């Protein structure tokens, strides 16, 4: 009887993993998924008959809830903010919000109008119409240099900073003899000279690209900007990186300002900040073509920032000195993007990177945590030697429960191995201390556990057979390093959102229109968003994304398809710069429904900053009754309603607002190190209610003191000590802190 029960337990634990693997992984085992091609929206609009009707409007709870939302406008389609790099919502503390978007002006009218809405409190909004009917070169609608003579605004963003004006930044799709190149990319900005409030006076647009003072522009055809307006040492500054669509290979151009007055920015000339054709120090390509993401970046108010790309090194398969992972490469600026690191680093390119050894170390620490705590992490991937416990007839039984993943087209079992494949859409933020926070889509890797497939006969530090696992334990990961150039090994890793059901679903067979779903899965579309609180001394971070909620997936009659029926917004908050997070919350939680009666929240973007207790959220909802680009391939091809939501969460933990005495630590506290187990770097946090002398010592398992880590005066507040145990042997250690006669001790585990 006991053997039967144990067998049942083993089957019940492995069934979800085998079921997922057997169904989906026939076509998803390739190690190297390429980035998506650019999506070019056509310049025309369509007409509709008199019997056309609109779908119902979704309403949300009022201000008394943790979530409230306001319908601020509509757009003829959803292309304005469906990509991750635009920033359509900006906030300035104690002043208000500005949202910029594509604006609906009727079914028979161009989709290219840019609109803006403003609010002082996030609840009452005032809308301004048609910001882009005149170009800086003098032409006006209906004689603009576009295919239709009407505005053709694309990819709008918002900017707002203290002592500045609400700002709109966007692209125009112009004729080739105006913007240059095939698509005439023509970047512009405008500002409201009246400031936040009910009444607006938006000035005629200005060039973002100084090379457009004569046309065609040079550089030509700039698109997909990632603009920010931030506080600088002498006032607001504007920055952006644009993709040069006329360049092959792709080049990316940095634009920033050197002067600001009353909303107007004096801009520097564009310069190349990244180049897919960049050569290394041996005149070979630095990165592999087709696998290099476009750059994202963020600069803090001190002028320090990072530009990030995910890529394969061009020699990732042949060189032992280059990373084998599709990993993180980055450059640093210390002058608001005027210059970036240009030498040193990876092949003397100026790029720092996340090495295979560090990637394997931090993922191994996380996977070990899951594998050694299978009760606490019951739905995660485990190493094959993981064990589980159960009680049978009053006796505790331990049995192997590690993963063995099933593929119908692979001979032999596949098992979890350290590492992640980092995808092409991500968000990066730089904290006020100059630390980098990278939130991206991470896909665990598995190896073929037959014929030595999990061995490393090539000596590159990776298994000889390597596959991506898109389901359980795949999702959004946060990487953090306080100083990645000077401390390249000092990375920590948090798993924030598991996308197992969303990634496993057959979107291309569902009643949710999802463009390119047969070739590109939801890991290409459902990108993560992070932002900081803008309050002084805060360590609050916010996270948001959109996905299929629990209970919205169902198998069809013969279980051959796993079908999604809904998309909702999910959010979380951290009060310790991303080390720990509140429980993920479905903040919209609307009904999925049956096409066309579906309530789908998509294209989510957080405001540039929040507060310690609240953050603004821009998103769109497709009206599936109103097809505007027939035949519709995705939910972008319908009219989309434009919303801004306010998510409040006053959960406290870690350090929030150190300048606020009310939230100072009430007592001496020594936290558990993170990660734990670790190899070889971990963080030890502690809190001081007042200034005082402390000592922090490390002991081995026998109680013998190994070394003194801290011995001196520390200020009140929260502190973190980085322990590098590279010189120590694997094993169990203890760290003990004493302050004002009080002592606390905790255990840490070093696993090499």
pLDDT digits (tens, 9 = 90+) for 664-703: 334 567 888 888 888 888 888 888 877 888 889 898 877 7
Assigned domain for 392 exists: no
Higher pLDDT, 408 or 448: 448
pLDDT, tens digit (0-9, with 9 covering 90-100), for 51-95: 567 888 998 866 566 999 999 999 999 999 999 999 999 999 999
Report the DSSP beta bridge partners of residue 610. 533
> Does residue 682 contact residue 662 with C-beta atoms inside 8 Å?
no
Tokens representing 630 are 């027939």
Q: Which domain, by its residues, includes 212?
A: 58-275+510-663
pLDDT, tens digit (0-9, with 9 covering 90-100), for 125-137: 999 999 999 999 9
Are 251 and 306 contained in the same domain? no
pLDDT at 752 over 90: no
Are 482 and 614 contained in the same domain? no
pLDDT, tens digit (0-9, with 9 covering 90-100), for 355-397: 999 999 999 999 999 999 988 888 899 998 898 887 777 788 8
Closest CA to 531 of 8, 90, 116: 90
Are 682 and 554 contained in the same domain? no
pLDDT band at 4 (very low <50, low <70, confident <90, very high): very low
Cα 469 to Cα 539: distance, rounded to the nearest angstrom: 33
Give 695's Cβ-side CA count (13 Å radius).
11
Are 573 and 670 contained in the same domain? no
State residue 559's pLDDT score: 83
pLDDT band at 733 (very low <50, low <70, confident <90, very high): confident
Assigned domain for 41 exists: no
> Does residue 572 contact residue 584 with C-beta atoms inside 8 Å?
yes
State residue 7's pLDDT score: 29
Of the chain, the percentage scoring pLDDT greater than 70 comes to 91
Of 663, 678, 713, the one marking the end of a domain is: 663
Assigned domain for 387 exists: no
Are 489 and 560 contained in the same domain? no
Of 631, 663, 695, the one marking the end of a domain is: 663
Give 475's Cβ-side CA count (13 Å radius).
23
Q: How many CB atoms lie within 10 A of CB 96?
A: 20
Q: What is the count of structural domains for the chain? A: 3
State residue 741's pLDDT score: 66
Are 76 and 176 contained in the same domain? yes
State residue 30's pLDDT score: 52
Are 461 and 528 contained in the same domain? no
Identify the CATH number of the domain in which residue 114 sits: 2.115.10
Report the DSSP beta bridge partners of residue 33. none
State residue 23's pLDDT score: 39
Q: In sequence order, which ranges of 172-239 are alpha helices (DSSP H)? A: 176-179
Highest mean pLDDT among 7-16, 362-371, 716-725: 362-371
pTM comes to: 0.84
- Say which residues have a Cβ less than 8 Å from residue 399's Cβ, sequence separation at least 6: 6, 9, 10, 387, 388, 390
Cα 294 to Cα 308: distance, rounded to the nearest angstrom: 8
Cα 482 to Cα 486: distance, rounded to the nearest angstrom: 9
Are 294 and 251 contained in the same domain? no
pLDDT, tens digit (0-9, with 9 covering 90-100), for 201-234: 999 999 999 999 999 999 999 999 999 999 999 9
Give 231's Cβ-side CA count (13 Å radius).
12
């Amino acid at each position: 009887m006991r053997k039967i029960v144990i067998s049942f337990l083993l089957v019940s634990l492995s069934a979800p993993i085998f079921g997922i693997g057997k169904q989906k992984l026939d076509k998803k085992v390739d190690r190297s998924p390429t980035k998506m091609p650019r999506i070019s929206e056509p310049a025309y609009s369509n007409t509709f008959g008199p019997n056309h009707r609109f779908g119902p409007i979704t309403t949300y709870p009022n201000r008394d809830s943790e979530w409230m939302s306001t319908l601020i406008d509509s757009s003829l389609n959803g292309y304005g903010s469906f990509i991750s790099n635009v920033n359509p919502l900006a906030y300035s503390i104690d002043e208000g919000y500005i949202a910029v978007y594509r604006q609906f002006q009727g079914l028979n009218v161009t989709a290219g109008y840019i609109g803006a809405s403003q609010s002082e409190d996030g609840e009452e909004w005032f809308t301004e119409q048609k910001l882009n009917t005149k170009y800086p070169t003098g032409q006006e609608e209906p004689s603009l240099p576009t295919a239709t003579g009407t505005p053709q605004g694309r990819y709008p963003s918002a900017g707002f900073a203290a002592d500045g004006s609400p700002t709109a930044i966007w692209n125009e799709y112009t004729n080739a003899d105006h913007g240059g190149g095939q698509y005439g990319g023509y970047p512009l900005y405008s500002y409201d000279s009246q400031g936040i409030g009910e009444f607006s006076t938006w000035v005629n647009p200005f060039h973002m690209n100084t090379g457009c003072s004569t046309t065609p522009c040079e550089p030509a055809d700039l698109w997909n900007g990632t603009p920010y307006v931030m506080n600088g040492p002498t006032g607001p500054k504007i920055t952006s990186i644009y993709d040069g669509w006329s360049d092959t290979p792709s080049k990316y151009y940095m634009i920033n300002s050197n002067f600001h007055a009353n909303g107007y920015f004096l801009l520097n000339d564009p310069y190349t900040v990244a180049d897919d054709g960049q050569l290394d120090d041996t005149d070979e390509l630095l990165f592999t073509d087709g696998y290099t993401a476009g750059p994202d970046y963020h600069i803090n108010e001190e002028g320090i920032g990072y530009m990030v790309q995910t890529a394969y090194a061009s020699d990732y398969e042949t060189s032992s000195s280059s990373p084998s992972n599709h990993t993180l490469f980055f450059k640093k600026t210390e002058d608001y993007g005027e210059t970036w690191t240009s030498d040193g680093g990876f092949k003397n390119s100026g790029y720092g990177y996340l090495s295979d050894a560090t990637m394997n170390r931090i993922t191994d620490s996380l996977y070990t945590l899951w594998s050694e705590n299978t009760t606490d992490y019951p739905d995660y991937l485990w190493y094959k030697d993981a064990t589980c416990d159960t009680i049978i007839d009053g006796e505790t039984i331990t049995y192997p429960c590690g993963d063995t993943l099933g593929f119908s087209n692979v001979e032999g079992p596949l098992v979890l191995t350290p590492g992640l494949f980092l995808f092409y859409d991500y968000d990066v933020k730089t904290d006020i201390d100059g630390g980098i926070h990278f939130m991206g889509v991470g896909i665990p890797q598995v190896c073929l556990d037959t014929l030595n497939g999990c061995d490393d006969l090539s000596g590159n530090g990776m298994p000889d057979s390597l596959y991506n696992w898109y389901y359980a334990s795949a999702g959004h990961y946060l990487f953090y390093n306080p100083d990645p150039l000077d401390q390249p090994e000092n990375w920590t890793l948090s798993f924030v959102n598991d996308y197992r059901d969303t990634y496993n679903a057959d979107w291309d067979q569902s009643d949710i229109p999802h463009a390119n779903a047969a070739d590109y899965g939801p890991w290409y579309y459902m990108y993560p968003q992070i932002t900081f609180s803008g309050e002084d001394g805060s360590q609050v971070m916010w996270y948001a994304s959109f996905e299929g909620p629990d209970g919205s997936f169902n198998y069809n009659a013969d279980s051959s398809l796993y079908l999604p029926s809904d998309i909702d917004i999910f959010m979380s908050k951290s009060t310790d710069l991303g080390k720990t997070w509140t429980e993920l919350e479905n903040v919209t939680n609307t009904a999925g429904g049956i096409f066309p009666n579906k309530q789908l929240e998509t294209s989510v973007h957080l405001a540039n900053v929040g507060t310690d207790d609240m953050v603004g959220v821009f998103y769109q909802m497709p009206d599936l009754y109103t097809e505007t680009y027939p035949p519709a391939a995705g939910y972008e091809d319908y009219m989309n309603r434009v919303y801004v939501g306010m998510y409040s969460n006053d959960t406290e933990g870690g350090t929030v607002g150190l300048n606020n005495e009310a939230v100072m630590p009430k007592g001496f506290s020594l936290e558990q190190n993170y990660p734990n187990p670790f190899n070889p770097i971990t963080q030890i946090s502690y809190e001081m209610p007042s200034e005082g002398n402390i000592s922090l010592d490390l002991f081995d398992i026998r109680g013998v003191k190994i070394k003194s880590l801290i011995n001196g005066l520390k200020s009140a507040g929260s502190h973190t000590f980085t322990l590098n145990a590279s010189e120590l042997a694997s094993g169990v250690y203890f760290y003990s802190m004493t302050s004002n006669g009080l002592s606390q001790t905790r255990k840490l585990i070093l696993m090499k």
